[in-house]
Structure 1
Amino acid sequence: MKDFVITADSNCDLLPEYIKEKAIGIIPHYYDINGVTYGDELNLTPKEFYDKMRAGVMPTTMASNPAVIRETFQSYLDKGLDVLHISFSSALSGGHSNVAAGARELCEENQEAKIVVLDSLNVSLGEGLVVMKAVQLKEAGMGIDEVAAWIEENKLKFCVQFTVDDLFHLQRGGRVSKMTAIVGSMINVKPILVVNKDGALVPGGTVRGRKKSLSTIVNRMETQMGNHKNGNNPICIVHGDAAEDAAYIAELIKERLHINNIMINTISPSIGAHSGPGAIGICYLGEER
Structure 2
Amino acid sequence: MINQQKIALLTDSCADIPQALVRRYDIYVVPLKLIFSDGEYADGVDITPTEVYRRLPQEIPKTTLPGGDMVEQAFARIKQAGYTKVLAINLSGGLSGTRNLVRLIGEQTVGLEVVSFDTLSGSLGIGMTVIQAARWIEEGWTWTELLRAMPALIRDTHVFFCVDTLEYLQKGGRIGKIAAVAGTLLQIKPIISFTPEGELINVAKIRGRKAAMQKMVQLATALVPRGVPFNLAVAHGDSLAELKEIREMAQKSLPDHLHLMEGEIDCTLGAYVGPHLLGVGVQMLSDAMNAAGKELEQR
What is the TM-score normalised by the length of structure 2? 0.85
Indicate if the aligned counterparts of 2:231 and 2:284 stay in contact, CA closer than 8 A: no
Tell me which residue corresponds to 2:87.
84
Query: Partners in 1 of 2:51 and 2:165 — Cα distance?
Result: 18
Pair 83,31 (structure 1): closer, same or farther in 2 beyond 3 Å: same
Shift of residue 36 of structure 1?
A: 1.8
SS at match of 1:202: strand
Shift of residue 17 of structure 1?
A: 0.8
Of the structure 1 ranges 97-106 and 145-154, higher mean CA displacement relative to structure 2 is found in 145-154
Shift of residue 143 of structure 1?
A: 2.0
Give runs of aligned pairs for residues 1-289 of structure 1, distance below 5 A. Answer: 2-39=5-42, 42-53=45-56, 55-81=57-83, 82-106=85-109, 110=110, 112-174=111-173, 175=175, 180=180, 183-227=182-226, 231=229, 233-258=230-255, 261-286=259-284
Of the structure 1 ranges 134-143 and 34-43, higher mean CA displacement relative to structure 2 is found in 34-43
Query: Partners in 2 of 1:249 and 1:95 — Cα distance?
Result: 30
Indicate if the aligned counterparts of 2:49 and 2:270 stay in contact, CA closer than 8 A: no
Query: Partners in 2 of 1:157 and 1:41 — Cα distance?
Result: 28
Query: Partners in 2 of 1:51 and 1:11 — Cα distance?
Result: 19
Q: Which amino acid aligns with 1:103?
A: G
Residues 17-64 of structure 1, C-alpha deviation per residue, up to 9 Å, x if partnerless?
1101111011111112223211268522332222222x4331221112
Query: Partners in 2 of 1:132 and 1:41 — Cα distance?
Result: 19
SS at match of 1:226: coil
Shift of residue 254 of structure 1?
A: 2.6
Shift of residue 266 of structure 1?
A: 1.4
Q: Which amino acid aligns with 1:67?
A: D
Q: Which amino acid aligns with 1:188?
A: Q
Q: Which amino acid aligns with 2:135?
A: Q
Report the count of equivalent residues.
279
Residues 229-260 of structure 1, C-alpha deviation per residue, up to 9 Å, x if partnerless?
x63x4321111101122111111123333357
Shift of residue 115 of structure 1?
A: 1.2
Pair 176,121 (structure 1): closer, same or farther in 2 beyond 3 Å: closer
Query: Partners in 2 of 1:199 and 1:103 — Cα distance?
Result: 22
Q: Which amino acid aligns with 1:20?
A: R
Unaligned runs of 5+ in 2: 288-299
Residues 81-107 of structure 1, C-alpha deviation per residue, up to 9 Å, x if partnerless?
22111111111101011111101122x
Query: Partners in 2 of 1:275 and 1:196 — Cα distance?
Result: 17
**Identity rate, percent:** 24
Shift of residue 79 of structure 1?
A: 4.1
Query: Partners in 1 of 2:78 and 2:180 — Cα distance?
Result: 48
